[in-house]
Amino acid sequence: MANILVFSETQNGHAKRVTLEILGHLTGHTLEVAVVGELQAEGVKELATFGASTVHQVKSDLLKLYSPEGYALALKQVIDAGKYDFVFSGATSMGKDFFPRLATKCDAGLASDLTSLTVNGTELSAIKPLFAGKCLAKVEMTGPRPHFATIRPNALGLNGSPAAAAGTLKETAASLADLKSVVKEVIKGASEKLDLTEANIIVSGGRAMKNAENFKILNELADVLGATVGASRAAVDSGYAAPSMQVGQTGKTVSPTLYIACGISGAIQHLAGMRTSKFIVAVNTDPEAPIFSKADYGIVGDLFKVVPLMTEEFKKILGK
Protein backbone atom coordinates (compact mmCIF):
# COMPACT_ATOMS: atom_id res chain seq x y z
CA MET A 1 0.00 0.00 0.00
CA ALA A 2 1.37 3.38 -1.02
CA ASN A 3 0.98 6.78 0.62
CA ILE A 4 -0.26 9.13 -2.08
CA LEU A 5 -0.88 12.88 -2.16
CA VAL A 6 -3.05 14.30 -4.92
CA PHE A 7 -3.02 18.02 -5.67
CA SER A 8 -6.45 19.29 -6.65
CA GLU A 9 -7.43 22.46 -8.42
CA THR A 10 -10.77 23.82 -7.28
CA GLN A 11 -13.65 25.38 -9.17
CA ASN A 12 -16.60 26.97 -7.37
CA GLY A 13 -15.48 25.38 -4.11
CA HIS A 14 -15.25 21.84 -5.50
CA ALA A 15 -12.37 19.68 -6.71
CA LYS A 16 -12.01 19.36 -10.45
CA ARG A 17 -13.13 16.10 -12.02
CA VAL A 18 -9.60 14.87 -12.81
CA THR A 19 -8.87 14.72 -9.07
CA LEU A 20 -11.83 12.39 -8.55
CA GLU A 21 -10.66 10.27 -11.47
CA ILE A 22 -7.22 9.85 -9.91
CA LEU A 23 -8.58 9.09 -6.42
CA GLY A 24 -11.13 6.57 -7.68
CA HIS A 25 -8.46 4.80 -9.72
CA LEU A 26 -6.21 4.32 -6.68
CA THR A 27 -8.59 2.54 -4.33
CA GLY A 28 -6.69 0.45 -1.81
CA HIS A 29 -3.97 3.01 -1.06
CA THR A 30 -3.70 5.73 1.57
CA LEU A 31 -4.95 8.82 -0.26
CA GLU A 32 -4.62 12.45 0.80
CA VAL A 33 -5.54 15.58 -1.11
CA ALA A 34 -3.98 19.05 -1.05
CA VAL A 35 -5.82 22.15 -2.23
CA VAL A 36 -4.80 25.79 -2.23
CA GLY A 37 -7.54 28.26 -1.40
CA GLU A 38 -11.24 27.79 -0.81
CA LEU A 39 -12.98 24.42 -0.65
CA GLN A 40 -16.62 24.10 0.39
CA ALA A 41 -17.80 21.51 2.91
CA GLU A 42 -19.61 19.70 0.09
CA GLY A 43 -16.31 19.60 -1.81
CA VAL A 44 -14.58 17.95 1.14
CA LYS A 45 -17.36 15.34 1.39
CA GLU A 46 -17.02 14.60 -2.32
CA LEU A 47 -13.28 14.02 -1.95
CA ALA A 48 -13.96 11.73 1.02
CA THR A 49 -16.45 9.77 -1.06
CA PHE A 50 -13.68 9.07 -3.57
CA GLY A 51 -11.23 7.90 -0.93
CA ALA A 52 -9.46 10.94 0.55
CA SER A 53 -8.54 10.20 4.18
CA THR A 54 -7.18 13.72 4.76
CA VAL A 55 -7.75 16.96 2.88
CA HIS A 56 -5.00 19.56 3.37
CA GLN A 57 -6.37 23.05 2.76
CA VAL A 58 -3.41 25.40 2.29
CA LYS A 59 -4.15 29.06 2.86
CA SER A 60 -2.25 32.31 2.41
CA ASP A 61 -3.21 35.86 1.46
CA LEU A 62 -0.41 35.67 -1.12
CA LEU A 63 -2.05 32.72 -2.88
CA LYS A 64 -5.49 34.13 -3.58
CA LEU A 65 -4.45 34.09 -7.24
CA TYR A 66 -2.50 31.28 -8.88
CA SER A 67 1.27 31.65 -8.77
CA PRO A 68 3.56 28.81 -9.96
CA GLU A 69 6.28 29.85 -7.52
CA GLY A 70 3.85 30.28 -4.62
CA TYR A 71 2.00 27.01 -5.23
CA ALA A 72 5.27 25.09 -5.46
CA LEU A 73 6.52 26.56 -2.17
CA ALA A 74 3.20 25.87 -0.42
CA LEU A 75 2.85 22.29 -1.68
CA LYS A 76 6.46 21.47 -0.76
CA GLN A 77 5.64 22.30 2.85
CA VAL A 78 2.77 19.79 2.79
CA ILE A 79 5.01 17.17 1.17
CA ASP A 80 7.83 17.73 3.67
CA ALA A 81 5.41 17.23 6.56
CA GLY A 82 4.23 13.86 5.22
CA LYS A 83 5.90 10.68 3.99
CA TYR A 84 4.50 10.19 0.52
CA ASP A 85 5.48 7.65 -2.09
CA PHE A 86 3.75 9.55 -4.91
CA VAL A 87 2.41 13.03 -5.60
CA PHE A 88 -0.09 13.26 -8.45
CA SER A 89 -1.92 16.05 -10.26
CA GLY A 90 -4.05 16.43 -13.35
CA ALA A 91 -2.14 17.30 -16.53
CA THR A 92 -4.05 20.57 -16.75
CA SER A 93 -2.56 23.92 -17.71
CA MET A 94 -1.84 24.56 -14.03
CA GLY A 95 -0.45 21.10 -13.35
CA LYS A 96 1.83 21.26 -16.37
CA ASP A 97 2.98 24.71 -15.29
CA PHE A 98 4.06 24.29 -11.67
CA PHE A 99 4.52 20.54 -11.11
CA PRO A 100 7.96 20.44 -12.80
CA ARG A 101 9.05 23.26 -10.45
CA LEU A 102 7.65 21.37 -7.45
CA ALA A 103 9.37 18.11 -8.43
CA THR A 104 12.67 19.96 -8.83
CA LYS A 105 12.32 21.49 -5.36
CA CYS A 106 11.89 17.97 -3.99
CA ASP A 107 14.86 16.70 -6.01
CA ALA A 108 12.65 14.10 -7.66
CA GLY A 109 11.59 13.00 -11.13
CA LEU A 110 8.34 13.75 -12.94
CA ALA A 111 6.33 11.62 -15.37
CA SER A 112 3.98 13.89 -17.30
CA ASP A 113 0.72 13.51 -19.24
CA LEU A 114 0.08 9.86 -18.37
CA THR A 115 -2.99 8.16 -19.84
CA SER A 116 -2.98 5.14 -17.52
CA LEU A 117 -1.23 4.16 -14.33
CA THR A 118 -1.01 1.26 -11.91
CA VAL A 119 0.38 1.49 -8.40
CA ASN A 120 1.39 -1.93 -7.08
CA GLY A 121 2.60 -1.65 -3.52
CA THR A 122 5.01 1.26 -3.79
CA GLU A 123 5.87 0.69 -7.45
CA LEU A 124 4.33 2.61 -10.34
CA SER A 125 3.93 1.61 -13.96
CA ALA A 126 2.18 3.85 -16.44
CA ILE A 127 1.60 4.61 -20.11
CA LYS A 128 2.63 7.87 -21.77
CA PRO A 129 1.92 8.75 -25.44
CA LEU A 130 4.98 9.89 -27.42
CA PHE A 131 5.59 11.40 -30.86
CA ALA A 132 2.10 12.86 -31.20
CA GLY A 133 0.54 9.62 -30.01
CA LYS A 134 2.22 7.45 -32.65
CA CYS A 135 3.65 5.19 -29.96
CA LEU A 136 3.06 4.47 -26.30
CA ALA A 137 5.88 4.33 -23.76
CA LYS A 138 5.80 2.25 -20.59
CA VAL A 139 6.92 4.42 -17.69
CA GLU A 140 8.52 3.14 -14.50
CA MET A 141 9.97 5.39 -11.82
CA THR A 142 13.02 4.87 -9.61
CA GLY A 143 15.13 7.11 -7.39
CA PRO A 144 14.27 9.41 -4.48
CA ARG A 145 10.69 9.54 -3.30
CA PRO A 146 8.14 10.90 -3.63
CA HIS A 147 7.69 10.32 -7.36
CA PHE A 148 5.69 12.97 -9.21
CA ALA A 149 3.27 12.45 -12.08
CA THR A 150 0.55 14.31 -13.95
CA ILE A 151 -2.42 12.43 -15.44
CA ARG A 152 -4.35 13.52 -18.52
CA PRO A 153 -7.94 14.57 -17.67
CA ASN A 154 -10.65 12.08 -18.76
CA ALA A 155 -8.04 9.37 -19.39
CA LEU A 156 -8.83 7.24 -16.33
CA GLY A 157 -12.58 7.78 -16.10
CA LEU A 158 -14.64 8.00 -12.92
CA ASN A 159 -14.87 4.95 -10.68
CA GLY A 160 -18.56 4.22 -10.23
CA SER A 161 -18.05 2.62 -6.81
CA PRO A 162 -15.06 4.25 -5.08
CA ALA A 163 -14.04 3.34 -1.52
CA ALA A 164 -15.00 6.17 0.83
CA ALA A 165 -12.66 7.45 3.56
CA ALA A 166 -12.78 9.88 6.49
CA GLY A 167 -12.01 13.09 4.57
CA THR A 168 -10.60 14.86 7.64
CA LEU A 169 -10.03 18.54 6.88
CA LYS A 170 -6.66 19.92 7.96
CA GLU A 171 -5.99 23.62 7.43
CA THR A 172 -2.40 24.70 6.89
CA ALA A 173 -1.02 28.24 6.81
CA ALA A 174 1.67 28.43 4.14
CA SER A 175 4.94 30.14 5.03
CA LEU A 176 5.99 32.12 1.96
CA ALA A 177 8.89 34.21 3.22
CA ASP A 178 10.96 33.13 0.20
CA LEU A 179 8.31 34.14 -2.35
CA LYS A 180 9.96 36.48 -4.88
CA SER A 181 6.87 37.58 -6.81
CA VAL A 182 3.14 38.01 -6.17
CA VAL A 183 0.38 37.80 -8.77
CA LYS A 184 -1.83 40.87 -8.46
CA GLU A 185 -4.46 40.23 -11.14
CA VAL A 186 -5.65 37.53 -13.52
CA ILE A 187 -7.76 38.58 -16.49
CA LYS A 188 -9.99 35.70 -17.54
CA GLY A 189 -11.67 35.09 -20.87
CA ALA A 190 -15.39 35.67 -21.25
CA SER A 191 -16.29 31.99 -21.75
CA GLU A 192 -17.71 30.10 -18.77
CA LYS A 193 -17.47 26.71 -20.46
CA LEU A 194 -14.98 24.08 -19.38
CA ASP A 195 -11.49 24.22 -20.78
CA LEU A 196 -11.05 21.83 -23.69
CA THR A 197 -8.64 19.62 -21.74
CA GLU A 198 -11.30 18.99 -19.07
CA ALA A 199 -14.42 18.75 -21.23
CA ASN A 200 -16.26 15.43 -21.40
CA ILE A 201 -17.85 16.30 -24.76
CA ILE A 202 -16.22 18.40 -27.48
CA VAL A 203 -17.65 19.65 -30.77
CA SER A 204 -14.89 20.82 -33.14
CA GLY A 205 -14.94 22.58 -36.50
CA GLY A 206 -12.40 22.73 -39.29
CA ARG A 207 -11.65 24.88 -42.30
CA ALA A 208 -14.95 23.74 -43.85
CA MET A 209 -16.75 26.03 -41.38
CA LYS A 210 -15.86 28.80 -43.93
CA ASN A 211 -15.99 31.67 -41.42
CA ALA A 212 -16.19 32.50 -37.71
CA GLU A 213 -19.91 33.29 -37.87
CA ASN A 214 -20.72 29.72 -38.89
CA PHE A 215 -19.33 28.40 -35.62
CA LYS A 216 -22.67 29.40 -34.11
CA ILE A 217 -24.17 26.11 -35.33
CA LEU A 218 -21.49 24.23 -33.36
CA ASN A 219 -22.16 26.41 -30.32
CA GLU A 220 -25.87 25.56 -30.56
CA LEU A 221 -25.10 21.83 -30.60
CA ALA A 222 -22.61 22.25 -27.76
CA ASP A 223 -25.19 24.10 -25.64
CA VAL A 224 -27.62 21.21 -26.00
CA LEU A 225 -24.99 18.59 -25.13
CA GLY A 226 -23.23 20.58 -22.40
CA ALA A 227 -20.10 20.47 -24.55
CA THR A 228 -17.13 22.73 -25.25
CA VAL A 229 -16.34 23.93 -28.79
CA GLY A 230 -12.93 23.29 -30.33
CA ALA A 231 -11.29 23.86 -33.69
CA SER A 232 -8.60 22.49 -35.96
CA ARG A 233 -5.41 24.41 -36.66
CA ALA A 234 -6.69 25.17 -40.17
CA ALA A 235 -9.75 26.89 -38.69
CA VAL A 236 -7.62 28.85 -36.21
CA ASP A 237 -5.07 29.88 -38.85
CA SER A 238 -7.92 31.05 -41.08
CA GLY A 239 -9.18 33.30 -38.28
CA TYR A 240 -12.40 31.36 -37.73
CA ALA A 241 -11.63 30.44 -34.10
CA ALA A 242 -9.47 31.63 -31.21
CA PRO A 243 -6.09 29.94 -30.56
CA SER A 244 -7.41 28.74 -27.18
CA MET A 245 -9.86 26.52 -29.09
CA GLN A 246 -7.20 24.68 -31.09
CA VAL A 247 -7.01 20.91 -30.74
CA GLY A 248 -3.97 19.10 -32.08
CA GLN A 249 -0.25 18.63 -31.91
CA THR A 250 0.38 22.38 -31.72
CA GLY A 251 -2.80 23.02 -29.71
CA LYS A 252 -4.42 21.20 -26.82
CA THR A 253 -4.47 17.47 -26.24
CA VAL A 254 -7.91 16.24 -25.20
CA SER A 255 -9.47 12.94 -24.11
CA PRO A 256 -13.24 13.47 -23.95
CA THR A 257 -15.81 10.72 -23.85
CA LEU A 258 -17.33 12.09 -27.07
CA TYR A 259 -15.52 14.06 -29.78
CA ILE A 260 -17.59 15.35 -32.72
CA ALA A 261 -15.41 16.49 -35.65
CA CYS A 262 -17.26 18.68 -38.14
CA GLY A 263 -15.58 19.50 -41.43
CA ILE A 264 -12.19 18.27 -40.18
CA SER A 265 -10.22 16.16 -42.65
CA GLY A 266 -8.16 14.40 -39.98
CA ALA A 267 -4.57 15.43 -40.61
CA ILE A 268 -2.09 13.60 -38.36
CA GLN A 269 -1.41 16.83 -36.44
CA HIS A 270 -5.08 17.06 -35.44
CA LEU A 271 -5.42 13.35 -34.67
CA ALA A 272 -2.45 13.66 -32.31
CA GLY A 273 -4.53 15.91 -30.07
CA MET A 274 -7.76 13.88 -29.90
CA ARG A 275 -7.09 10.28 -30.85
CA THR A 276 -7.50 9.09 -27.24
CA SER A 277 -11.16 10.23 -27.21
CA LYS A 278 -13.45 7.37 -26.15
CA PHE A 279 -15.89 7.85 -29.06
CA ILE A 280 -15.26 9.87 -32.21
CA VAL A 281 -18.02 11.04 -34.55
CA ALA A 282 -16.99 12.59 -37.88
CA VAL A 283 -19.06 14.68 -40.28
CA ASN A 284 -17.42 15.33 -43.66
CA THR A 285 -18.46 15.54 -47.32
CA ASP A 286 -15.38 13.55 -48.41
CA PRO A 287 -15.87 9.79 -47.79
CA GLU A 288 -12.09 9.33 -48.15
CA ALA A 289 -11.22 11.85 -45.42
CA PRO A 290 -8.60 10.39 -43.01
CA ILE A 291 -10.79 11.26 -40.02
CA PHE A 292 -13.12 8.39 -40.93
CA SER A 293 -10.32 5.87 -40.33
CA LYS A 294 -10.30 6.91 -36.64
CA ALA A 295 -14.01 7.61 -36.21
CA ASP A 296 -16.34 5.21 -34.40
CA TYR A 297 -19.26 6.73 -36.32
CA GLY A 298 -19.06 8.64 -39.59
CA ILE A 299 -21.57 10.77 -41.45
CA VAL A 300 -20.82 11.63 -45.08
CA GLY A 301 -22.69 14.86 -45.68
CA ASP A 302 -22.76 18.64 -45.54
CA LEU A 303 -22.13 19.74 -41.96
CA PHE A 304 -24.39 22.76 -42.45
CA LYS A 305 -27.29 20.34 -42.97
CA VAL A 306 -26.20 17.53 -40.66
CA VAL A 307 -25.25 19.51 -37.53
CA PRO A 308 -28.59 21.39 -37.20
CA LEU A 309 -30.41 18.05 -37.59
CA MET A 310 -28.22 16.57 -34.85
CA THR A 311 -29.03 19.54 -32.63
CA GLU A 312 -32.76 19.07 -33.08
CA GLU A 313 -32.59 15.32 -32.47
CA PHE A 314 -30.53 15.76 -29.30
CA LYS A 315 -33.07 18.32 -28.06
CA LYS A 316 -35.80 15.71 -28.44
CA ILE A 317 -33.76 12.96 -26.81
CA LEU A 318 -32.63 15.14 -23.89
CA GLY A 319 -35.97 16.89 -23.52
CA LYS A 320 -34.62 20.38 -24.14
Q: What is the secondary structure of the chain as a DSSP string?
A: --EEEEEE-EETTEE-HHHHHHHHHTTTSEEEEEEES---HHHHHHHHHTTEEEEEEEE-GGGSS--HHHHHHHHHHHHHHS--SEEEEE-SHHHHHHHHHHHHHTT--EEEEESEEEEETTEEEEEEEETTTTEEEEEE--SSSSEEEEE-TTSS---SSPPP---EEEEEE---TT-----------S--SPPGGG-SEEEEE-GGG-SSGGGHHHHHHHHHHT-EEEE-HHHHHTTSS-GGGBBSTTSB----SEEEEES----HHHHHHHTT-SEEEEEES-TT-THHHH-SEEEES-HHHHHHHHHHHHHHHHT-
Higher pLDDT among residues 258 and 121, named by residue: 258
Q: State mean pLDDT over 28-47.
A: 94
Q: Which domain holds residue 127?
A: 3-173
Q: State mean pLDDT over 125-139.
A: 88
Residue 42 within any structural domain of the chain: yes
Looking at the structure, tell me whether residues 246 and 278 fall in a common domain. yes
Do residues 181 and 67 touch, judged by C-beta distance below 8 A?
Answer: yes
Looking at the structure, tell me whether residues 71 and 206 fall in a common domain. no
Do residues 190 and 56 touch, judged by C-beta distance below 8 A?
Answer: no
Closest CA to 75 of 184, 141, 172: 172
Residue 112 within any structural domain of the chain: yes
Looking at the structure, tell me whether residues 242 and 275 fall in a common domain. yes
Looking at the structure, tell me whether residues 25 and 129 fall in a common domain. yes
pLDDT score of 190: 60
Residue 185 within any structural domain of the chain: no
Q: 144 falls in which pLDDT band (50, 70, 90)? A: confident
Residue 15 within any structural domain of the chain: yes
Looking at the structure, tell me whether residues 165 and 308 fall in a common domain. no
Cβ-proximal residues to 249 (8 Å cutoff; 6+ apart), any chain: 132, 268, 269, 270, 272, 273
Q: Could you read off the pLDDT of 227-278 as tens digits, one per residue?
A: 999 999 999 999 999 999 999 989 999 999 999 999 999 999 999 999 989 9
Looking at the structure, tell me whether residues 219 and 162 fall in a common domain. no
Residue 181 within any structural domain of the chain: no
pLDDT score of 216: 97
Do residues 254 and 272 touch, judged by C-beta distance below 8 A?
Answer: no
Q: 3 falls in which pLDDT band (50, 70, 90)? A: very high
CATH code of the domain in which 149 resides:
3.40.50.620
pLDDT score of 141: 87
Q: State mean pLDDT over 85-92.
A: 95
Looking at the structure, tell me whether residues 266 and 152 fall in a common domain. no
| Bridge-based pairing state of the strands 201-205 and 258-262 | parallel
CATH code of the domain in which 239 resides:
3.40.50.1220
Looking at the structure, tell me whether residues 69 and 127 fall in a common domain. yes
Q: Edge-to-edge strands of the sheet including 147-151?
A: 110-114, 147-151, 86-90, 3-8, 30-36, 52-59, 168-173
Looking at the structure, tell me whether residues 238 and 126 fall in a common domain. no
Q: Could you read off the pLDDT of 148-207 as tens digits, one per residue?
A: 999 999 999 898 888 899 999 999 998 888 888 888 888 776 666 778 988 999 999 999
Closest CA to 204 of 261, 268, 278: 261
Closest CA to 227 of 211, 215, 214, 238: 215
Looking at the structure, tell me whether residues 25 and 152 fall in a common domain. yes
Looking at the structure, tell me whether residues 221 and 300 fall in a common domain. yes
Among the candidates 142, 173, 204, a domain finishes at 173
Residue 187 within any structural domain of the chain: no
**Most distant CA pair in the chain, distance:** 62
Looking at the structure, tell me whether residues 233 and 152 fall in a common domain. no
Cβ-proximal residues to 108 (8 Å cutoff; 6+ apart), any chain: 143, 144, 145, 146, 147, 148
Q: State mean pLDDT over 303-320.
A: 95
Q: Could you read off the pLDDT of 7-32 as tens digits, one per residue?
A: 999 988 999 999 999 999 999 999 99
Total domains in the fold of the chain:
2
pLDDT score of 7: 97
**Residues comprising the chain, all counted:** 320
Residue 179 within any structural domain of the chain: no
Residue 182 within any structural domain of the chain: no
